[in-house]
Amino acid sequence: MPKLKTHTGAKKRFNLTKTGKVKRAHAYKSHLLNGHGKDTKRKRGLRKGAYADVTNAATVKRMIPYK
């Protein structure tokens, strides 16, 4: 069986749970976090993790075969 290459961008962004769901982080959390239209409530919500949609899960799992 040939080996597969892991997609390096995907391995940094996604994790798999034990049940096989794909965990992801929220977007828009990297900069402009002090008073540029994002209130505290929104920024607090961006801290929490989320799951990738089931329509994209199979694609992501193919990109990270050994995680």
How far, rounded to the nearest angstrom, does the alpha carbon of residue 20 sit from its chain's CA centroid? 14
The model's pTM:
0.81
Q: What is the pLDDT of residues 11-59, one digit of tens each?
A: 999 999 999 999 999 999 999 989 888 999 999 999 999 999 999 999 9
Determine the pLDDT at residue 33. 87
Say which DSSP state 18 is in.
T
